[in-house]
Amino acid sequence: SITCSFIQQLTLTCKAEVVNQSYTTTYGVAVRAEAIDRDALHVAGIVRGVNASIVEPVAGSERQLRRSTLTAEVLRQNQSQATLRIELRDNETGAPIILDDSSRWYPIGGTTRNGYITIAGQQVETNASGVAIVTVDDPGIYTARYHPGSWLGHNPAYVSDTATARWHPLGTIDGWFAFLFEIFWQFIPFFVMFYAGHRLLRMLGPEDLFQRDP
C-alpha cells in the first residue's frame, strides 16, 4: 500500500509499504442501476491521467431481479426435538433455488449461486430440490431468513425472504399424552402419602370417626 502526506503544505512525501500476507486484488467496479446511459457514463480513477473503459461481462450486463419464496414447516417432532423442513423456490417459476456457499469468490456472470439460509443460529444451504433440513431442541417460534448472493454473479438475482415455524411438544396428541403422564407420575408420591395417612388413622383412631351406626 502507498501512503502520501503533505509536510507543512510544501512537500509531498509518499511511503510505500511492503505487503507480507496474501490479499485479493481488485479487478473492477460494478454499479447497479435500473436505467443507464452508457454514453454519458464517466469513470474517474484515483490516479491522474489514467483512463478506464467500460467493459461488459461476457454473460451480459442485464440482470433479472426476482422474488423468492421461502417456506418452513415442522416435518416431525417428539418430546426432545423437532425437525424443520425449509424450502426455497423461485416465486415466478416455482423452480427450486439451489444454494452453494462453499466459495466466496466467483466471476461476474458466473453460474455458481451463492447464498445461505439462517435459522436457530445455524447457517444452511438448500440441496438440488431446494430443501434444507434443520433439527432444533428448544420449543418456540423459529424464523428462517434467506440471504441471497450478490447480484453481480447471479442472473436471475433474488431478493431476501423470511418464513416462520412454530414447535411445541403439546402440539400433538402424543405430546399431550406424555404431558398428562408426567403430571400423574409427579403426583404419585402425594397419592401414596394420602393413602398411607388414611390407613394409619383407621388403624390407630376410633372407628366412629370413619363409620357411624345408623
pLDDT tens-digit series, residues 114-152: 889 999 999 999 998 999 999 998 888 899 999 998 877
Whole-number Å distance between alpha carbons of 136 and 72:
13
Please tell me the predicted confidence (pLDDT) of residue 94: 92
**pLDDT for 76-121, tens place per residue?**
888 778 899 999 999 999 999 998 755 444 444 444 468 899 999 9
Please tell me the predicted confidence (pLDDT) of residue 175: 58
Distances (CA, A) of 72 to 144, 145, 192: 7, 10, 47
Please tell me the predicted confidence (pLDDT) of residue 110: 43
**pLDDT for 50-77, tens place per residue?**
666 666 666 666 778 889 999 999 998 8
User: What is the DSSP secondary structure assignment for residue 97, as one 8-state letter?
Assistant: -
Whole-number Å distance between alpha carbons of 150 and 108:
10
- Domain borders along the chain are 65-171, 173-209
Backbone angles phi, psi at 196, to 5 degrees: -65, -40
Please tell me the predicted confidence (pLDDT) of residue 150: 80
pTM of the model: 0.58
Mean pLDDT of 176-189: 69
Please name the CATH architecture into which domain 65-171 falls: Sandwich (2.60)
Report whether pLDDT(178) > 90.
no
Whole-number Å distance between alpha carbons of 208 and 199:
15
Report whether pLDDT(164) > 80.
yes
Among 60-64, 120-124, 183-187, 202-206, where is mean pLDDT lowest? 202-206
Whole-number Å distance between alpha carbons of 140 and 160:
23
Reading the block at residue 142, the C-alpha cell is 423459529
**Distance from CA of residue 83 to its chain's centroid?**
15
In total, the chain counts a number of residues equal to: 214
200, 194 contact by CB (below 8 A)? no
Provide the percentage of residues in the chain whose pLDDT is more than 70: 57
Please tell me the predicted confidence (pLDDT) of residue 154: 80
Q: What b-and-e string marks burial along 193-203, b requiring 16 or more CB atoms within 10 Å of the CB?
A: eeeeeeeeeee
